[in-house]
Amino acid sequence: MTTTTTAPLAAATSTLVTNIATLVTNDHDAVEDAEDGLLGLVRDAAVVIAGDRVAWVGAADRAPAADNRVDAGGRTLLPGFVDSHSHLLFAGDRGEEFAARMSGRPYTAGGIRTTVEATRAAPDERLAANLVRHVREALRQGTTTLETKSGYGLTVEDEARALRIAEEHVDEVTYLGAHVVPPEYADDPAGYVDLVTGPMLDACALHARWVDVFCERGAFDGDQARAILTAGMARGLVPRVHAGQLGPGPGVRLAVELDAASADHCTHLTDADVDALANSRTVATLLPGCDFSTRAPYPDARRLLDAGVTVALSTDCNPGSSYTSSMPFCVALAVRELGMTPDEAVWAATAGGAAALRRIDIGRVTPGARADLVLLDAPSHVHLAYRPGVPLVAAVWQRGTRVL
Ligand SMILES: [Zn+2]
């Protein structure tokens, strides 16, 4: 790639990225030259970035002048990935547990407690450094927006400090005091729910936009999940739910009933769950890296899409059940294992993630959107699934600034 400066740098510098073979806009209505279809593709395209925003999108031969010019070299440009579900406030390593699981031991929610112990013992600086390392790792793979959660502190102080650190480094922060019942409350789960909905919520509400609960056998049941989510909502937090990971349960219908932004995992769904999602604005966020890493069945994305459910893809990056930060890996899994087409998977990893975070400024390349862009070393977005495991990300812009 060559970057040529054709005018002196001004305050609101503009950059023309041109010679793009395939541009994914995710919005054919907003871009005059886009083809019909889910991804709103533009062939032989150009994009103008001005400041932190996309200023113009269309066919390269109609592109306006700009201060700088970047030649994309006949490659693919798409919106930065939106990873709407991760757990990056942790310390410690669970490689041995993974090895044991791959040797035949099943995954249970209890493994979370191993990370809780290590996280509580870690100083703030180590938690922050670990978070930043993973944010950068994700950025190198094209992720320009990350959601992350607390959930490995499980005391008032440890949950609040996790969220304080998170809000310094990521766009979207979720309070997950209800990840698992900590050992000191093993005989008093109701007492722990009182803590999560009382003093812990008081300490955390100002540092998060979202409230989440692990609604699963071995974690929190439907009644507990409802109490936790409604308490968060009363403090202005918007709900999202871990549901249907290990077996069917009440989580998905609870998410829909409370108008949660997202129901995450959705590996085990009843027909009633699918109907409920289809008649709601709750996104089904699928986390195939988790099913891969726990050698579990994959969710049936085809069933959801055919029913009209909005589907997002996310990494669920966490040290226990899904230690990948790679959205391209999730796209490849979604196509190979979840029954999604390459177009559907790329949409779910970008616009779908934005929908799961109720954001309209990201996950698309349209005038006015945040200039979060990924240049792929490939002639089309299909290569994300066609070339699994290959580092195709050649450049990344975040808020209009070239960061890779
Ligand atoms: Zn999760």
CA of 162 to the centre of ligand 1 (A): 15
Instruction: Please determine, for residue 72, whether its predicted confidence score (pLDDT) is greater than 90.
Output: yes
Phi first, then psi: what are they for 401, rounded to 5°? -105, 130
pLDDT in tens, 210-244: 999 999 998 999 999 999 999 999 999 999 999 99
Q: Please work out, in degrees rounded to the nearest 5, the angle formed at the alpha carbon of residue 87 by the alpha carbons of 85 and 92.
A: 155
pLDDT value, residue 8: 44
Binding residues for Fe(3+): 85, 87, 242, 316
Enumerate the domain spans of the chain: 3-80+364-402, 82-356
| Interval 235-251: pLDDT, tens | 999 999 999 999 999 99
The 3-state DSSP class for residue 119 equals helix
**Average pLDDT over the chain, rounded to an integer:** 95
Residue 318: both structure tokens together = 């966490």
Q: How far is residue 396's CA from residue 404's CA, in Å, rounded to a whole number? A: 5
CATH 3.20.20.140 is held by the domain 82-356: yes
90 CA distance to ligand 1 centroid (A)? 13
Question: In the structure, what pLDDT confidence band is assigned to residue 101 with cuts at 50, 70 and 90?
Answer: confident
186 Cα: distance to centroid of ligand 1 (angstroms): 21
Number of helices (H), then strands (E), belonging to the chain: the values are: 15, 16
Q: Output the known binding site for 4-imidazolone-5-propanoate.
A: 94, 152, 179, 245, 321
Helix (H, G, I), strand (E, B) or coil at 14: strand
Which structure tokens are listed for 311? 């589907």
Which residues sit opposite 81 in a β-bridge? 143
pLDDT at 4 over 70: no
Tell me what the mean pLDDT of segment 369-379 comes to.
98
Q: Work out the number of other CB atoms within 10 angstroms of the CB of residue 334.
A: 27
Distance, CA 269 to ligand 1 centroid (Å)?
17
DSSP 365-400: -STTSB--EEEESSSSTTHHHHSTT---EEEEEETT
Distance 212 CA to ligand 1 centre (A): 9
DSSP 8-state code for residue 122? S
Q: Residue 273 C-alpha to ligand 1 middle, in angstroms? A: 19
pLDDT at 307 over 50: yes
- Reference 86, options 156, 123, 154, 137; nearest CA is 137
Whole-number percent of the chain with pLDDT over 70: 96
What's the CA-to-centroid distance between 313 and ligand 1, angstroms? Answer: 12
pLDDT value for 11: 58
If we measure between CA atoms, which residue out of 169, 250, 256 comes closest to residue 215?
A: 250
Ligand 1 centroid–CA 124 distance in Å is: 22
Phi/psi region, residue 16 (left: phi>0; alpha: psi -120 to 50; beta: rest), is beta
Query: For residues 277 and 356, what is the distance between their CA atoms, to the nearest angstrom?
Result: 13
111 Cα to the center of ligand 1, angstroms: 13
User: Which residue in 103, 199, 109, 119 sits closest to 158, CA to CA?
Assistant: 119
- How far is 309 from 287, CA to CA, in rounded Å? 16
Q: Quick one: tokens of 71?
A: 């030649």
Q: What are phi and psi of 383, to 5 degrees?
A: -65, -20
Q: What are phi and psi of 367, to 5 degrees?
A: -55, 130
Tell me how far the alpha carbon of residue 392 lies from the centroid of ligand 1, in angstroms: 26
Q: What is the spatial distance between Cα 327 and Cα 37, in angstroms, rounded to a whole number?
A: 22
> For the chain, first and last CA: distance in Å?
12
Q: How many CB atoms lie within 10 A of CB 164?
A: 18
pLDDT higher than threshold 60 for residue 109? no
Positions at the binding site for Zn(2+): 85, 87, 242, 316
How large a percentage of the chain has pLDDT more than 90?
93
State the Cα–Cα distance between residues 293 and 113, nearest whole angstrom: 18
Cα separation values, 250 from 95, 161, 179, 220, 276, Å: 32, 31, 16, 10, 12
Q: How far apart are CA 155 and CA 201, in angstroms?
A: 11
Question: What does pTM read for this prediction?
Answer: 0.95
**Is 59 in a helix, a strand, or coil?**
strand
- Pick one of 2.30.40.10, 2.40.40.20, 1.10.3720.10, 2.60.40.10 as the CATH number of 3-80+364-402: 2.30.40.10
Sequence ranges of the binding site? 85, 87, 94, 152, 179, 242, 245, 316, 318, 320-321
Residue where the block lists tokens 């400090």 = 161
Under a CB-based contact definition with an 8 Å cutoff, are residues 55 and 85 in contact?
no
